[in-house]
Amino acid sequence: MTAQILDGKLVASAVKEEVAAVVSQLDYVPGLATVLVGDDPASHSYVRGKRRDAEQVGIRSFHHELPATIPQDELEALIDGLNANDEVDGILVQLPLPGELDSEAIVERIDPSKDVDGLHPFNLGLLVLGKKGLRPCTPSGILRILDHYGIETAGARVVIVGRSFLVGRPLALMLSERGADATVTVTHSRTEDLHGETTDADILVAAAGARGLITAEHVKPGAAVIDVGINRTDDGLVGDVDFDSVVESAGAITPVPGGVGPMTRAMLLVNTLSAAKARRS
């Protein structure tokens, strides 16, 4: 059996169409501010993509590009200005920040109602409490692609490889929330028997940033495999999953590129729209 390919580009473009349709009915233009510090080429390319997406769905983009030498207090002052700007509904600071800049302090400076990355402690707190709030984009994108392809989470055993606050931990909370109802195991670099854990999974999510970590041996036949990893190689981007071997026995799999990445970007637009509606209603 060859796995069904979970096409993130396709699902992301459906999500973008939905957002564009709603935006076109609003009597205001939602605004997304992007803050890009330094000259990391990957960060530049991510932000370019996010701004292009925003414009495609009718969200106005306010872009701020700053040198890596910007002092912390100046960056914080920029965030304060964006918090106070009524035309800005969402603020995205592209991480990681270079040098000595304190990313945590910057993220905490963002008004939680404009935190469209869903990484402010207030929004993460709402997530822990199971209350409505802005959720992190990558986990939201994973839930959305599973839902699109009818991959049932209720009652499923989900194993997540990686415990970062960006992906693994919020995803574990979102999948175990009422409504998603999965039974979730989070593994990490100190997990003793990774193989023993992953082979139990009906849905396996790899978010470690380790090329080729997950091979066919780690996957239960028929399982859905979500590859979050982005690893740059001479041959281009690859995930954490050895696609060629896993595709032969898994039930479904996201490719890299073209899987979780486009979904993350699409969910940023969904969050910006939600933030705009909540602020302006």
- The catalytic residue positions are 50, 94, 117
Q: Is 211 in the site for ligand NAD (CB under 6 A)?
A: no
Q: Is residue 201 a contact residue for ligand NAD (CB under 6 A)? A: no
Do 259 and 8 touch, CB atoms closer than 8 A? yes
- Helix axis angle for 8-25 and 137-148, nearest 10°, is 100
Query: Taking CB under 6 A as the rule, does residue 264 contact ligand NAD?
Result: yes
Q: Is 174 in the site for ligand NAD (CB under 6 A)?
A: no
For ligand NAD, the closer CB: 172 or 275 = 172
Q: Give me the amino acid identity at 74.
A: E
* 153 binding ligand NAD? (CB under 6 A): no
| Site for ligand NAD contains 208 (CB under 6 A) | yes
Closest CB to ligand NAD among residues 124, 213: 213
* Binding of ligand NAD by 229 (CB under 6 A): yes
97 binds ligand NAD (CB under 6 A): no
The answer to whether the CB of 162 falls within 8 A of the CB of 209 is yes
Looking only at the bridges linking them, the beta strands covering 90-93 and 31-37 are parallel
Q: With respect to ligand NAD, which residue has the nearer C-beta, 57 or 268?
A: 268
Alpha helices of the chain — where are they, by DSSP H? 8-25, 41-56, 72-84, 103-109, 121-129, 137-148, 168-176, 194-198, 243-246, 260-280
Cα separations (Å) of 198 from 168, 183, 186, 218? 14, 13, 10, 6
Per the structure block, which two tokens stand in for 249? 């026995």
Decide: residue 131, CB within 10 A, 0-12 exposed, 13-18 middle, 19+ buried. Answer: exposed
Instruction: Closer to ligand NAD by CB, 109 or 163: give it.
Output: 163
Among 43, 72, 164, 245, binds ligand NAD (CB under 6 A): 164
The answer to whether 158 touches 205, Cβ cutoff 8 Å, is: yes
Alpha carbons 121 and 185: distance in angstroms, whole number: 23
Q: Does 75 bind ligand NAD (CB under 6 A)?
A: no
Among 2, 45, 69, 189, indicate the residue that binds ligand NAD (CB under 6 A).
189
Instruction: State the nearest-atom distance from the C-beta of 104 to ligand NAD, in Å.
Output: 13
As measured in angstroms, the least distance from the Cβ of 185 to ligand NAD is 12
Please work out the total of residues on this chain that contact ligand NAD, with binding judged by CB under 6 A.
25
Contact 269, 140 (CB under 8 A): no
From 19, 124, 167, 275, residue interacting with ligand NAD (rule: CB under 6 A): 167
User: In 3D, which of 150, 188, 158 has the Cα closest to residue 174?
Assistant: 158
276 lies in the binding site for ligand NAD (CB under 6 A)? no
Token couple for 178: 């009422």
**Whole-number minimum distance, CB 244 to ligand NAD, in Å?**
19
Shortest distance (Å) from residue 32 CB to ligand NAD: 17
Is 183 among the residues that bind ligand NAD (CB under 6 A)?
no
| Residue ranges binding ligand NAD (CB under 6 A) | 138, 161-164, 166-168, 187-189, 191, 194, 207-210, 213, 228-231, 260-261, 264
